[in-house]
Structure 1
Amino acid sequence: MSFGKITHTPVGLADVLCDEYELKLRIENTACTVFKDYGYRMVQIPTFEYFDVYNVTTPTQAEHMFKFFDNDGRMLALRPDLTTSVARMAATKPAAGKLPLRISYCGSAFRNEENFSQARQREFTQVGVELIGDNSVNADAEIIQIAIETFLKSGIKNFQIDLGQVEFFKGLVEQTGLSDSESDLIRSHINDKDFIAVQSVLDNLNINSNMKSMFQNLATMFGGIEIVDKALCDNDLNQRSKDALKNLKDVYSILVEKDLDKYVSIDLGMVQNIDYYTGIIIRGFTYGVGFPICSGGRYDNLLAKFGRDIPATGIAIGVERVMASIYDENNDSDKEISSSEYVTVALAKGRLAELSVDIFEKIGFDVNQIKEKTRKLIFTDEENKLKFILVKASDVPTYVEYGAADIGIVGKDTLLENNKNLYEVLDLGFGKCKMAVAGPKEMKDRIDKQNIMRVASKYPRIAREYFHKVKGQTVDIIKLNGSVELGPLVGLSDVIVDIVESGKTLKENGLDVLEKICDLSARLVVNRVSMKLKRDKIVDIIQKMKGEINC
């Protein structure tokens, strides 16, 4: 037996020590007290259920569930969230009570995630409420009010609740007659604020120019309630989309009456999980945490899957993420001010940084410090409240994802290989090259016929995605850190996957480009939370860069 396996927790799990647990317990107790004050009653649900319970409601989560079998061979799964089990209970247990039901919970959930941090573990705690049997705007507003009050009483000073409406997007899809596959593709890109991919999809769709413009703008339609007012002025919208906007405005009006609108923002491009949600979508964000601290919304179709067709709305709060935010505030009382005042830019060291600095200079920022020969890694434009940090290229997506940087400039190859959870908003047009399969000339005719091959690459994820998912071939991926051209020359591999600019290095080593995988260039990426909390500053930078590129 390995000694390490009995002295360490499994990857993605953590012990919670005394001081940490006291804070965790305080947050949980605060939340439960708020829930009780609003008339919600606690329930306890199983830690695991039949796999089908979760798969029938959220099949996209199947690959991230912890699954196992009981003694009778039936597949079980640890709960990936608590809402599904609460819905099953409310639909199947008459003793749950008369409608509307106000149910609250506190417990662990489990997801087999790949990336871990203090605020993103495989086991995490959720506290939340579900309001079942009430389809009114007052019910949605109540859920949002509970989330706001919980954050304030937990000690979070600066946060923002984003509201979306999935029916608005569904109305646009209905109006344009998009297929399910087209709708899902464009929805995914809009939700990711991937302006480049949205435009690419739209270019291939046969829909009128006004609707193309609406889909294109959807990724940028976030901010104040004026976003809704402006959208309502579009006479080309169908009734379904208009009703969705009016619903969103009605909920917002209730929050205004309660003086809570200062915590609320609108994002019509927030369109994830549209098969699950049926109306309002809610996401909460704060400084110091690179992920939402709460999520929820209206899910009127969920209980029908368990035999009882009644509406419902609710929200789940991530306790560890709230803890991370409070730690961030407590560790540096000035950090909150600093975080909100400055936009931090992560630049990849080397040639890409030089090109990036040039474009920042052209759009009016002071980059004199960074142009000096120095070993410094942090540079500040005090007048424009912009901070630059120089990091290794492969680390740029990590700094941006976790909120250490608000925006970053990095090559598309690094983004594809890292697969981080961030917004890719702009193709900057420089650093152009391509990712390609290369090898000896004789492999040209064999590459599609030889099913088992060895592929050497600095980019194992890109290579695996291309051969396994695009080409459907079985290949052995060999990770190398340099001089991948040597692979085929010494018999280590049959082909390589690498970046190709001029192709000169390949030719000098007797290799040819066999297949192009994709085009590459420098991209502007944005942290998902920063895009919400620093919207005006970041959108201003994006627009200025876009203007410079188009000159």
Structure 2
Amino acid sequence: MYLYHNIENDLVINVEQIHARQKLIQKIKQRFATFGYQEIITSTFEQYDLYAKMNGTVNHQEMIKTIDNTGQVLVLRPDVTIPITQQIALHNNELREDLRYFYVQDVFRQAAETKDHRESTQAGVEYFGNPSPQADAEIIALAIQMLQDIQVNNFKIELGHAGFFKQLVTDMNLEKQDLSELKQYIQAKNVTEIEQFLNRLSVDSEVKKVVSTLPFLYGNPLEVILKANNLPLNDEMKNTLQNLKNIYDVLDAYGVVKNVVIDLSLINHMDYYSDMIFQGFIEKVGKPIIMGGRYNTLANQFHSNLPAIGFACDVNLLIEGIDNTTLPSIQPVDIVVTFNQQEEQQGLQLASKLRNENFTVLTYLDSQEKSRIPISTFSIHIKENENILIMKDKQLPFSNAEDVLSLLHRVKERR
């Protein structure tokens, strides 16, 4: 009996978690749809070559591989952006109209240093065809409104630019190993190691000044842009700052800049990002739950020219960081219909009509133990000489299904 009791409790908890998760995902989908994005899906299994032959994509050691019955190597979907871009590029060399898509799909990765694998759900959007700052700002504003919809109020969006760092290191002519080392120091904002690294290299003094300042180019967007513009930047880097300023101005028009900071040391692990990049953080989670940016050159690897931008949200991490009180709870049953054996047919037929009107309905015989009948918003008792609809402290008699539907709809309209 004790074992049964534990299993039953676990099942209840699991049902509640599943319900909360699905309600959360539905809210996210609704927000995506309000911005004009349409849902799209990709295959769970992808060709290994799709990722292996591309530059700057998923670490090959993190992909979970399998072999089909023809001997082809497949991978469980490690990324959604790449297959979506491939499909659009196969049918379009260029775009004459904007395309907006969203997805909620599982991705599969294996940590390179362990045998552990991780299945996580990503909710994301991809916007093809529009290279403007307005499109960049739309994506960030959408991410912010998505978080607000699910009552995540304490969050931070860090805005950066892949081009700023790329333009900077181009002037340094670093070897691959040195570049990787510098990226690690900058991502960790390790000022001491950055200075020691620069002292070992023959690097122009002006470039050194910019690189050593990178960890401090974080914070209020207008202040960071002003501070960066006072550094010895080349023309490309100045244009990059202006691009970020243009995006910020549109975000200001959206009214969402209070949650936005600029981080010019931001480096995304996906090398296919070409321009603006951003990531989102919430309390209780020590890594970004949202990552995205502009990837105008990704489609070039499929022989197409498609400017694009998007982001992905890790739903698993998002749920971990949300206070349980903000997660959607299971809604009570709309209606419980009870009847005795003689009125069973009438009760079941009434329940069917109510379900066809999108009410959640449970049915029970009067002889059922009262403790097993769940709490509901409304109760209906079918008796030999009287049918009663009960809501709170009111008892309303009715004669047929049409009468009770009229009563229920009137109550709904008053709410």
Q: What TM-score do the two structures reach when normalised by structure 2?
A: 0.70
Q: Report Cα offsets for 1:523-551 as digits up to 9, x if no partner.
A: xxxxxxxxxxxxxxxxxxxxxxxxxxxxx
Task: Specify the code of the residue in structure 1 equivalent to 2:120.
Answer: F
Q: Deviations over 1:229-262 (max 9, x none)?
A: 111122x211111111111111011111111100
d(CA) in 2 for partners of 1:190, 1:312? 27
Q: Is 1:88 the counterpart of 2:51 in the alignment? A: no
Q: Residue 292 of structure 2 aligns to a residue in which SS?
A: strand
Question: In structure 2, what is the equivalent of residue 22 of structure 1?
Answer: 19
SS at match of 2:322: helix
- The answer to whether structure 1 residue 43 and structure 2 residue 64 are counterparts is no
1:52-451 correspondence runs (5 A): 52-55=49-52, 56-59=54-57, 61-93=59-91, 99-113=97-111, 122-225=118-221, 226-234=223-231, 236-273=232-269, 275-327=271-323
Identity score, percent: 32
The gaps in structure 1 that reach 5 residues or longer are: 1-15, 332-551
- Amino acid across the alignment from 1:303: A
Q: Is the 8 A contact 1:293 1:321 kept in 2?
A: yes
Partner of 1:383: none
Distance in 1 (alpha carbons) for counterparts of 2:281 and 2:299: 28
Q: 1:270 to 1:72 in 2, by over 3 A?
A: same
Distance 1:245 1:95, change over 3 A: closer
What is the deviation of 1:217? 1.8
Structure 1 residue aligned with 2:4: none
Aligned-partner SS, 1:161 = strand
What's the offset of the Cα at 1:273?
Answer: 3.2
Distance change (3 Å), C-alpha of 1:246 and 1:179: farther
Paired with 1:296 and 1:151, the residues of 2 have a C-alpha distance of 15
Tell me the alpha carbon deviations over residues 375-403 of structure 1, each in whole angstroms, 9 at most, x when there is no partner: xxxxxxxxxxxxxxxxxxxxxxxxxxxxx
> 1:57 and 1:329, CA in 2 relative to 1: closer, same or farther beyond 3 A?
farther
User: How far off its partner does 1:92 sit?
Assistant: 1.6
Amino acid aligned to 2:21: K
Q: Distance in 1 between the 2:326 and 2:307 partners?
A: 40
For residues 244 and 329 of structure 1, do their structure 2 counterparts lie closer, same or farther at Cα, with a shift above 3 Å needed?
farther
Q: Does the CA-based 8 Å contact 1:163-1:280 persist in structure 2?
A: yes
The one-letter code sitting in structure 1 at the alignment partner of 2:234 is N
Alpha-carbon RMSD across the aligned residues, in angstroms, is 2.4
Query: Does the aligned pair in 2 maintain the 1:187–1:272 contact within 8 Å?
Result: no
Aligned mates of 2:93, 2:241 — CA distance in 1: 37
Q: Which moved more, 1:239-248 or 1:175-184?
A: 175-184
Instruction: Decide whether aligned partners of structure 1 residues 164 and 97 sit closer, same or farther in structure 2, where only a CA change above 3 A counts.
Output: closer
Corresponding residue for residue 484 of structure 1:
none
Letter in 2 for 1:304: N
TM-score for the superposition, normalised by structure 1: 0.54
Alpha-carbon contact 1:188-1:272 (below 8 Å) kept: no
Residue aligned with 2:24, SS: helix
Amino acid at match of 2:209: S
Question: Structure 1 stretch 52-61 or stretch 217-226: which is displaced more?
Answer: 52-61
Higher deviation after alignment, 73-82 or 208-217:
208-217
Distance in 2 between the 1:95 and 1:183 partners?
33
Superimposed CA distance per residue, residues 69-125 of structure 1 (whole angstroms, 9 cap, x where no aligned partner): 112222111111211111112112459986311011111001112799xxx970010
Residues 279 and 329 of structure 1, relative CA distance in 2, 3 Å threshold: farther
Q: How far apart are 1:325 and its partner, in Å? A: 1.6
3-state SS in 2 of match to 1:272: coil
Q: Is the 8 A contact 1:137 1:247 kept in 2?
A: yes
Change in Cα spacing, 1:57 to 1:105, as seen in structure 2 (3 Å) is farther
Q: SS of 1:17's equivalent?
A: helix
SS state of the match for residue 249, structure 1? helix
Judge conservation of contact 1:288–1:325 (CA < 8 Å) in 2: yes
Secondary structure of 2:124's partner?
A: strand
Find the structure with the greater CA-based Rg: 2
- Following the alignment from structure 1 to structure 2, what is the Cα–Cα distance between the partners of residues 59 and 292? 18
Q: Distance in 1 between matches of 2:48 and 2:259?
A: 38
Note if contact 2:58-2:78 (Cα within 8 Å) is conserved in structure 1. no
* Kept in 2: contact 1:170–1:241 (CA 8 A): no
CA contact (8 A) 1:90 1:96 kept: no
Higher RCO (CA < 8 A, seq sep 6+): 2
